[in-house]
A and B are shown apart, each in its own frame.
Chain A
Amino acid sequence: MSTGTTPKPGQGAPTPQNAEAHDTGRSAASNARGNLSNAQRFLLDAAEKSVDMVHREIIRKGMDSYDVAHAKGRTRFAFWDAARQRCQEIKREAVNHLDQYLLEFEKNVIAHGGHVFWAATSEEACQYIADLAVKHSVKTVVKSKSMVTEEIHLAGALEKVGCTVWETDLGEYIVQLRNEGPYHIVTPAMHLNRKQIGDLFRDKFDEPNLSDDPQELVAAARRKLRKAFFAAEMGISGANFLVADAGCIAISTNEGNGRLSTGVPRIHVAVTGIEKMIPKLEDLATLWPVLATSGTGQPITTYGSLIGGPRRPGEADGPEEFHVVLVDNGRSSLLASKEEREVLHCIRCGACLNICPVFRHIGGHSYGTPYPGPIGSVLVPRLEGEKFEHLSSASTLCGACTSVCPVKIDLHHHLLENRRDFTEAGHVSAGERFQFKMFKTAMVNPSLYKVGGWFMRKSLRLLYSLGLSGSVLDPLRPWNKGRSTIPLAKQSFRAIWKKELDHGE
């Protein structure tokens, strides 16, 4: 469970519970399904969650209030769609010329006295940060929220070199205490109600008299986290944007933990994907409010920080060292594809998760990746490979995601392209391939289609008249499991047309 590292004497900061489960983004219960494939595990986790009515009610309440805030937030814009359009243009420019903007960004950060590390893989990124920690004898690390650090499994890498890692975003802290990964990219503990959080804190903090009052719970977490902030030698943050012309990172937060994580410890490391680039500082004027509105419905987040380097001579505070770790981890292969490149426009607002009916039913943890929901189902199979390809099929292609995306990524069409590419790469079962070969043969041959349709209806009617609906013999068994059987028409439309409707017009 905990890593065995002790806080420095006298600091009295207890260690948060950093278990292996946290690294995988899965609950302990689903880890018991160890020998199943990722796709099988997904089916089981999703099936279980989709009938968990307590879960559904918590998510419904959360999403209902998000919907109201998001709708109200959009009305603050004179032209919401024009703002989306503008964001799309900014991100398209940044991504289409990412090579130039990355170099410009690096040059400017170095000029401010910062360091930039280019990490081709998760391993390279983790190694660089772990080496830094060792070099500076870091024992305590505070983290503000960052999905990329989840993606690269940074916490585990730091624990291996003897660091105690504290999540300081309240939601992240809560899921860390539960040995879970974040449930949602914006609201990591969305799946818990205040009673569950109260129970967790009473248990973990040894404060049996805490009530479920949110104020009291926040105060209890703050008491723990304050100590960590001032003990930490290293602070880790993500970045919502990398601003090329200013050579700084932009962070939006609501809790103030971002500023404490980046400003108090001696070393600040910002870990971010290369695609977070934007060309100009002034682009934030549109992107910041659009991100806040899409993320939580706020006009702007409570804190917006621009950090461009370490403490300068004469400044009262700030870190002594500032490092930016630019993570590729498969992103440049997406960049190389003209068709898929726009997936890199994503600003991780979470709007597509919130509106997704699949997400609302199966919840964030079922996906088994730090990036759940539509954007994850598009992105993760491309970044992490075959073991996540089933996610691209786990969508009805309803297009709700595309309709809300603030940078106008054509999400559900990218799911179709993923399916095409994975099928063409041969990553499908022989059964399914055979099924669609047969399908094609019948559909280009009208008489075969006609006979095939007749045979199907005839045989199903016989099967059902024998009471075998839903049995192993029933080809529509998966359908009939949760639904009443489809009524089987006696005649096809084409037969009716011939007999009754054809007026020879």
Chain B
Amino acid sequence: MSRKVALFVPCFVDQLLPQVAVDTVTVLRRVGCEVNYFEDQTCCGQPAFNSGFWSESRPCAEHFVSVFKDAEYIVSPSGSCTTMVRNFYPELLKESDALADAREVGQRTFELSEFLVKIMGVTKVGARFPHTVTYHASCHGLRELHLRDEPLQLLRGVEGLKLVDMLRYDECCGFGGTFATKFADISVAMGTSKADNIAVTGAEYVTAIDPSCLMHVQGVLGKRKDKAKTIHLASILASEGKPA
């Protein structure tokens, strides 16, 4: 069944990693969704919220709610940004006039793998990716949205893809938003442990549902000149055979 989807593209994906959003559009259209992108969207406000600046985060949240108020489904290639909207807006906007709208918008906001599996009911999207891949469970997706199996189901549905398990696949990679720069040494040490675990798998690619984790892990892998590369789940699902 066709669904009308409003893309929720996280600000840093818009600015730094646009391919993730392009691939999200490809996948959503391939499974028959009508995809739209509201150009007035900016950032969900999570960086300010997580840093304690709730007064600065609140107007961002209100802006987000006003942009997406009338959307049927809101889909994002990020578990973390989805968490912000669905789980944290009700707390942040407790005393705002936008609270009722925010709750509704939150209920209609989905992370991509969640939307595909739970709403569209698909686990095979017609992708082909003939590579060895290991999966990192991003924290917000796993422990806030409780998405444990959905991304794995989609990966198992990709032709040619060989999925290999990673030790401590559900341990944080060390990104944590501003944590990555405020506590850079700890963040990099955690990223290094993650990179060690990735290396043990021998996988060509490590994938996840959150581009922020992947950006951090790629930074650590790149610095180490490791063989493995990061790739967002959307990019695997959008691929048709050639390496992404």
Stretch in contact with the other chain, from A83-91, A213-221, A314-322, A391-399: A391-399
Contact residues of A between 390 and 448, Cβ < 8 Å to B: 393-400, 402-403, 416, 418-424, 428, 432-433, 436-437, 439-440, 442-446
B172 on interface, CB distance cutoff 8 Å:
yes
Residue pair A489, B50 in contact (C-beta under 8 Å) = no
Q: How far is the CB of B28 from chain A (nearest CB, A)?
A: 11
**Residues of chain A whose beta carbon lies under 8 Å from any beta carbon of chain B:** 43, 46-47, 50-51, 56, 357-358, 361-362, 393-400, 402-403, 416, 418-424, 428, 432-433, 436-437, 439-440, 442-446, 449, 453, 456-457, 476, 478-479, 481-489, 491-494, 496-497, 501-503, 505
Beyond A396-B174, A494-B37, whether A440 also contacts B22 by CB under 8 A is: no
Q: Nearest CB to that of A493 among chain B residues?
A: B18
**Residues of chain B whose beta carbon lies under 8 Å from any beta carbon of chain A:** 4, 9, 11, 13-19, 21-22, 25, 34-37, 39-43, 45, 47-57, 59-60, 62-63, 139-140, 143-144, 170-172, 174-177, 179-191, 193, 215-216, 218-223
Q: Nearest CB to that of B2 among chain A residues?
A: A505
Q: A396 — which chain B residues lie within 8 A by C-beta? A: 139, 172, 174-177, 179, 187, 190
Q: Nearest CB to that of B220 among chain A residues?
A: A483
Q: How far is the CB of A30 from chain B (nearest CB, A)?
A: 15
Please tell me which one of the listed residues B21, B52, B139, B179 contacts residue A428 in the complex, with CB atoms under 8 A apart. B52
Residue pair A358, B186 in contact (C-beta under 8 Å) = yes
Q: A362 — which chain B residues lie within 8 A by C-beta? A: 186, 189
Residue pair A483, B216 in contact (C-beta under 8 Å) = yes
Q: Could you pull out 11 A-B pairs where Cβ atoms are within 8 angstroms?
A: A357-B171, A358-B186, A396-B187, A400-B139, A418-B52, A419-B51, A433-B53, A439-B60, A443-B60, A457-B15, A493-B15
Q: Please, how many angstroms separate the alpha-carbon atoms of A437 and B179 in the complex?
A: 19
Residue pair A400, B172 in contact (C-beta under 8 Å) = yes
Q: How far is the CB of A462 from chain B (nearest CB, A)?
A: 16
Q: B63 — which chain A residues lie within 8 A by C-beta? A: 443-444
Residue pair A357, B21 in contact (C-beta under 8 Å) = no
Beyond A446-B40, A484-B219, whether A493 also contacts B139 by CB under 8 A is: no
Q: Please, how many angstroms separate the alpha-carbon atoms of A503 and B39 in the complex?
A: 14
Q: How many A-B residue pairs have CB under 8 A?
A: 207
Q: How far is the CB of B80 from chain A (nearest CB, A)?
A: 9
Residue pair B222, A440 in contact (C-beta under 8 Å) = no
Q: Please, how many angstroms separate the alpha-carbon atoms of A428 and B174 in the complex?
A: 23
Q: A421 — which chain B residues lie within 8 A by C-beta? A: 52
Please give 19 more A-B residue pairs, beta carbons under 8 A apart, in addition to A436-B56, A439-B43, A494-B37: A51-B189, A394-B186, A396-B176, A396-B190, A419-B52, A423-B52, A436-B47, A439-B60, A440-B56, A443-B43, A443-B45, A446-B40, A453-B14, A457-B15, A479-B184, A481-B188, A482-B188, A483-B219, A493-B13
Residue pair A493, B14 in contact (C-beta under 8 Å) = yes
Residue pair B60, A481 in contact (C-beta under 8 Å) = no
Please tell me which one of the listed residues B39, B48, B177, B188 contacts residue A439 in the complex, with CB atoms under 8 A apart. B48
Residue pair B59, A402 in contact (C-beta under 8 Å) = no
Q: Please, how many angstroms separate the alpha-carbon atoms of A483 and B222 in the complex?
A: 7
Residue pair A361, B18 in contact (C-beta under 8 Å) = no
Q: Nearest CB to that of B58 among chain A residues?
A: A440
Residue pair A488, B56 in contact (C-beta under 8 Å) = no
